[in-house]
Structure 1
Amino acid sequence: MRIRMRRLASLLALSAALQLSLAPVAALAESIPLAMPTPRPAATSTPAKGMVAAANPLAVEAGLRVLRDGGSAVDAAVAIQAVLSLVEPQSSGLGGGAFLMAYDAKTGKITAYDGRETAPSAATPDMFMGPEGKPLSFVKVLLSGRSSGVPGAVAMLAQAQKDHGKVAWSTLFKDAETLAADGFVVSPRLAGMINSPRAPQASQPDAVKYFTKPDGTRYKAGDVLKNPAYAETVRRIAAEGPSALYEGPIAQAIVERLREGELPGSMTLEDLKRYKPRAGAPLCRPWKVYTVCVPNPQSSGLAIIQALQMLEHTDIGKRGPTDPVAWTLLAQAERVMYADRDRYVGDPDFVTVPVAGLLDPKYVAQRAKLITDKAGPAPSFGQPKGAPKVGVDATHEPGGTTHFVVADTQGNVVSMTTTVESIFGNGRMVGGFFLNNQLTDFSFSPVEKDGAPAANAIAGGKRPRSSMAPLIVLDKKGKFLAAVGSPGGNAILSYNLKAMVGLFYWNLNMQQAVSLPNLVARGENFSGDADLFGPEMLAALNARGVTVKVGQLETSGLQGVIVRPGNVLEGGADPRREGVAKGL
């Protein structure tokens, strides 16, 4: 916690240059200065050069090395994920899942890759219910073998690399192998997670063994941590391909580890062997003069598109980030999008998701009427065309996730959000990496009181609903314009929406947009970066019913890249975490 507070303090230095760039936008109401984080300069890359924006500098360098060696954006993504799994294991890894959006500059097409974990074939809707018919405690399920889904990130990356790669798969794990074998410097954020009393996974036997030095103390920031087991794992994956994870001794170890302890998991070798990622056209819709593309459900990206389209019915674009009315409109749009998302989004192989109805212009206009300049009672879900009868959702969504963006020298782009779900997944390790707790993204209660099924109820082979929503924006000619994404559990939707509003309504550069305060409004609950808003803005928001309280903190991890005139790439990395955006 002390590390987090020191990190926050470093973010609160006032930036006069940024203030000047924001102030002129707010013309319709009072202008209230924001205590913005000290913004890093927006990273830029000259034409025909590439860029990487990721959550750890070591992962950024791994991606840039691949680009320098002639690799594609997808090639670089493989290398980045392999390093992040090692140096940022609290967020993502080989044992987790991901969504990847790949833009092909030659064809102008985007492919959406779905590497979301699946429930084992033996999973049942009541597997998180106790003997008294009530849901088990979240932490009890989290730490159990029952919480893990079949990992999808490696299989998904292998499919994407087969489709879009330019260099040999075997060459993409060099940085991860070297860092694991020789050791890497523990970052302040990782050290904070290792020693956090708020992360029960860090006190589990595998994590304790990994994060404890020979002298019996925990690793701290600046220490060098080696992981020879991980080095061996990535060597095998490099040589054998994804089958090294889904078959053989690593797969056997995963199954055995998940079957240990109370609430054992039911995953089998056959579940691992049969895993297949999804790939196909993304969900795209027009917005302003652009086209916004996101992964299809069970991703929740459609909610962001819905919110952006609803905001077109407001005057938020004539306001700005120093205007409390603008933030109130944003909060109100979020409440509506969450009401619909929470009710209807699930795995389309198992439930009907009324995508067309939710994004129908008439329905969007109707829902936009709920966006007012004062917040009242929470809006209920709507009734779009094609909506099934589904029950109230009971899903928990912690924020152990990360996002990165890669643009290569040929103009190809990857926007990828990847996760092990909670911090260090479920705390169990195999082959030097953590296993996920992704099944806790299902609704713990499978039915509503009246018997209506939850859209996100558990079932064998089903993918849990996800808030992960990597975005790609195309310009009016259908060419790549921008990519944005963030970790943050269910707050991902709010974080991404805020960045899009900053970029395209308030005309900020990418670094300013990701650095803006966060405001998350879902149901009756409001949360935000209280210190970044400052006391004046908090008072103005509270007067409008948006009750952000002193002391609240929203640690997004936004990364983004946008093309500026002259074909210049401009990147931004969220200053709340340790990421950087860097061009070739």
Structure 2
Amino acid sequence: MKTLSIALAAATLPLTACAAQTRHPTPVSTRAPGMVSAADPRASAAGVEILKAGGSATDAAIATMLALNVVEPQSSGLGGGSFWVRHAAKTGKVTTIDARETAPAAADARWFYAADGTPMSRRDAVPGGRSVGVPGALRGMALAHRQAGKLPWAKLFEPAIRLARDGFRATLRFRNSVAAYGTHLTPDARTVFTIPADGIMRNPAQAALLERIARQGPDSFYVGPQAQKLVATVNGAAHNPSKMTTGDLASYDAKPRDVICEPYRSYRICGMGPPSSGGVTVLMILKQLERFDMAKLGKASPVAWHLFAESSRLAYADRNMYVGDPDFVAVPIKGMLDPTYLASRSALISENTTLASVTAGTPPGAPARTPAPVSEVAGTTDLAVADRDGNVVEVTTTVEGPFGSGLVMDGTVLNNELTDFDIVPFAKEGNGTGYLVANRVEGGKRPRSSMAPTIVYNADGSVRLALGAAGGSTIIAQIAKALVGVLDWNLSAQDAIALGLVYAPGPGATLEAGSSAVALQAGLTALGEQVQVAPMGLKANAIEWRQGRWIGAADPRSEGVAIGEDGSVSDVTRMAPVANRPSE
């Protein structure tokens, strides 16, 4: 372990009760020092500052998110959205919050069609105002604070305001993001994120915005002058202007959602439900693998990873076919997790051969659907927090792609979340019959996401692990891989996160360049897998209860760390740089 001062020296400068819940036996309060894991050490330190001030895990999570908004603006912030999964130590309940962005009321199925009546490419649809959804992150924070906050709202903003006002040192990862994606920013936005010669970033406009919200409360972002400024920014964009209204912002609410929990081996895994596809798809991958002895096969076995790839393909196929915003489309979650259905899907998997083709199944209660492409990009960030009382919070938050839409309001990036919808709303079956896809654009709708904040419980109801990831549609595979690593291969969360990824959302598989996955290439090829090696933009964070204390984990591909309330810092052996690895 390192000391906190050493770890940060190079990086820093001078609601109503949730109905979406599952009850577990109530464990005894841990009283062990709390822990925060995030993708940047300044953000982890912000969360720890709040824990030390007597804040709850929810308070610390909010402070960590706000700090990430400042130091990692390419990935998340108040201009984006989030999903929360939270464990309450006193009651043993797990609850979720959906703070996903929504489409403006004016949005329709042809929202991303050009003037000539043809659908835009995703590349053309991202920049500008049309891709911006009504931001949900702040409403999610407010709902969480009402439910489980202990400290005053304004207190949680103090670390982020200091970072934005006084400055922070631009990290290598931030520099790489600006270099790779800076041309995506509007000229005004590019000025905000131009790195000075001394490397110290200051964002006075963002500091002022945070001060206003801290003083006036979250409503000040959604009504009044701030809402008018946001609407003017997206509707007045030089590229792809939107049709958002102040009414779209004023009517936005974060929502409690039904948590999804299923057993795996002797554990119980709980995650986010739709409009996130992460929770159900992770569970499907694991449940389809459950009949195989993954522990005996081990982490170095090509057969184990072949099974993982096959199960991934089957789960992603169903995910693409059926998952959307449950307020707009019928999502057959119960059928997708039906034991008989999953057994029939698992029976398609062989240890010796690779499926020639994979199509979606027909789970009980499934409506007629047409598959849509996996289109999310590798953005987003994640954080995990535990406090001394044993409360645990896992949040995945995003502005979608790197620097979102390229638009900035008061020093804060605005998302491009609406390009997570399927741009083309119609599809045809082989017989020519047409269908509307589940994830089409509709006014007020939330786009499908792969974000998968997850909490794992032991058989006695105590928390074993909290885990989340960033990286677009790879998130699902990252979480499933790490869970197999911890629960089947008895790895630490740190070592499970560091494992190379075999990513197989469809035909073929991609092995993560520069990782342990590359050694599997020959063995997977012998099993009929069509594999390629390529860089991936992966990033995960976790905390786990082990050896009578909270232990943090951070992705060695990122600059993240886990910091304990006692000042301990996780030891992370950084992975060697890989050419063309996405910075997100």
Same fold (TM over 0.5): yes
| Structure 1 residues not aligned, in runs of 5+ | 1-45, 213-217
Q: What is the match of residue 476 of structure 1?
A: 459
Q: What is the match of residue 186 of structure 1?
A: 170
Q: What is the match of residue 237 of structure 1?
A: 213
* C-alpha displacement of 1:60: 0.3
1:214-244 per-position Cα deviation (integer Å, ceiling 9, x unaligned): xxxx557x70010000100110111111112
Q: What is the match of residue 28 of structure 1?
A: none
Q: What is the match of residue 347 of structure 1?
A: 325
Q: What is the match of residue 300 of structure 2?
A: 322
Contact 1:199 1:423 in 2 (8 A): no
Which residue type is aligned with residue 241 of structure 1? G
* C-alpha displacement of 1:47: 5.3
1:55 aligns with 2:33: no
1:80 aligns with 2:58: no
Contact 1:395 1:443 in 2 (8 A): no
Which residue type is aligned with residue 299 of structure 2? P
2:241 to 242, 254, 264: 264
Cα 1:385–1:352 change in 2 (3 A) is same
1:428 aligns with 2:412: no
Q: What is the match of residue 190 of structure 2?
A: 208
1:530-584 per-position Cα deviation (integer Å, ceiling 9, x unaligned): 332366422222222333334x122311111111243x11221000011011212
Q: What is the match of residue 12 of structure 1?
A: none
Contact 1:446 1:454 in 2 (8 A): yes
1:280 and 1:351 map into 2 onto residues whose CA distance is 15
Contact 2:468 2:542 in 1 (8 A): yes
Which residue type is aligned with residue 113 of structure 1? I
1:125 aligns with 2:103: no
1:414 to 381, 390, 393: 393
1:502 aligns with 2:485: yes
Which residue type is aligned with residue 507 of structure 2? E
2:200 and 2:518 map into 1 onto residues whose CA distance is 41
* C-alpha displacement of 1:377: 2.5
Mean Cα deviation higher: 319-328 or 404-413? 319-328
SS at match of 1:448: strand
1:438 aligns with 2:417: yes
2:179 to 181, 195, 203: 195
2:372 to 379, 393, 396: 393
2:360 to 373, 381, 387: 381
Which residue type is aligned with residue 468 of structure 2? G
Q: What is the match of residue 226 of structure 1?
A: 202
1:572 aligns with 2:553: yes
Contact 2:394 2:455 in 1 (8 A): yes
1:152-192 per-position Cα deviation (integer Å, ceiling 9, x unaligned): 01001111011000110110011111111111100111100
1:251 to 220, 224, 227: 227
1:448-478 per-position Cα deviation (integer Å, ceiling 9, x unaligned): 1232110001100000001001001111122
Q: What is the match of residue 361 of structure 1?
A: 339
SS at match of 1:113: strand
Contact 2:189 2:411 in 1 (8 A): no
Contact 1:311 1:333 in 2 (8 A): yes
1:184-217 per-position Cα deviation (integer Å, ceiling 9, x unaligned): 1001111001011x56424x213321123xxxxx
1:134-159 per-position Cα deviation (integer Å, ceiling 9, x unaligned): 32021221002110110001001111
1:560 aligns with 2:542: yes
SS at match of 1:173: helix
1:68 and 1:156 map into 2 onto residues whose CA distance is 23
Q: What is the match of residue 113 of structure 1?
A: 97
Q: What is the match of residue 568 of structure 2?
A: none
Q: What is the match of residue 270 of structure 2?
A: 293
Q: What is the match of residue 150 of structure 2?
A: 166
Contact 2:31 2:390 in 1 (8 A): no
Cα 1:310–1:231 change in 2 (3 A) is same
2:196 and 2:535 map into 1 onto residues whose CA distance is 26
Q: What is the match of residue 573 of structure 2?
A: none
2:531 to 531, 548, 569: 548
Which residue type is aligned with residue 300 of structure 2? T
1:121 and 1:534 map into 2 onto residues whose CA distance is 45
Contact 2:32 2:550 in 1 (8 A): no
1:229 and 1:262 map into 2 onto residues whose CA distance is 23
RMSD: 1.5
* C-alpha displacement of 1:266: 1.2
Cα 1:149–1:376 change in 2 (3 A) is same
| Structure 2 residues not aligned, in runs of 5+ | 1-29, 566-584
1:376 and 1:392 map into 2 onto residues whose CA distance is 18
Mean Cα deviation higher: 73-82 or 370-379? 370-379
Contact 1:258 1:264 in 2 (8 A): yes
* C-alpha displacement of 1:131: 4.5
Mean Cα deviation higher: 130-139 or 142-151? 130-139
Q: What is the match of residue 562 of structure 2?
A: 581
Which residue type is aligned with residue 545 of structure 2? V
* C-alpha displacement of 1:285: 1.6
* C-alpha displacement of 1:506: 0.5
Q: What is the match of residue 571 of structure 2?
A: none
Percent same amino acid at aligned positions? 43
Contact 2:310 2:355 in 1 (8 A): no
Q: What is the match of residue 307 of structure 1?
A: 285
1:515 and 1:180 map into 2 onto residues whose CA distance is 31
Which residue type is aligned with residue 537 of structure 1? L
Cα 1:313–1:144 change in 2 (3 A) is same
TM-score, length basis structure 2: 0.88
1:405-459 per-position Cα deviation (integer Å, ceiling 9, x unaligned): 0001110010000000000000100011000000000000101123211000110
Q: What is the match of residue 273 of structure 1?
A: 250
Cα 1:462–1:109 change in 2 (3 A) is same
1:324 and 1:51 map into 2 onto residues whose CA distance is 35
TM-score, length basis structure 1: 0.88
Cα 1:535–1:232 change in 2 (3 A) is closer
